[in-house]
Amino acid sequence: MLETLCAEKGVEVSDSLISDLVEERRGRLDLIFENIDETIIDMIQRTKSIGLSVAVVSNASDTDVDGWFGSWLADEVEHFVTSFDVGVMKPEPLIYRRAMDLLGVEASEVVWVGDGSYSELAGAQNVGITPLWAT
């Protein structure tokens, strides 16, 4: 992706620079999964303790999610749905529907908790999900 962006702008970059940038990004993303906010952990645990299911939906590429698989979240969340796997990004309806299908629920049974990036809350609402803004 970086190569394409640079080529479109007429910027020449070496393979080693691209590799370094990708590794730097991976490192930052790994830190996100290693340092999960305590309120998020508490919310997920409380949700599961009352018998509800939890899924994570992310506008992530295949390289963005490397840190996910070794994280606490990977063991606690029933499904991890990525734009890379689905082929569309939030707020496209298909990504929300994929998560609902995996969970075996209807939109009326779902509360979408998100920070509002990528118009995700509006996207959730457009498919009949109740959105909840949280940061």
Domains of the chain by residue range:
32-133
What's the rounded Cα separation, in Å, for the pair 97 and 71?
Answer: 25
**Tokens (6 digits) for 114:** 């998100």
pLDDT in tens, the chain (135 residues): 667 777 888 888 888 887 877 777 777 767 777 788 889 889 999 999 999 999 999 998 777 777 788 888 888 999 999 999 999 999 999 999 999 999 999 999 999 999 989 899 999 999 999 999 987
3-state secondary structure of 82: strand
Q: What kind of fold does domain 32-133 have according to CATH?
A: Rossmann fold (3.40.50)
> pTM, whole model, 2 decimals?
0.79
Residue 52 main-chain phi, psi, to 5 deg = -95, 155
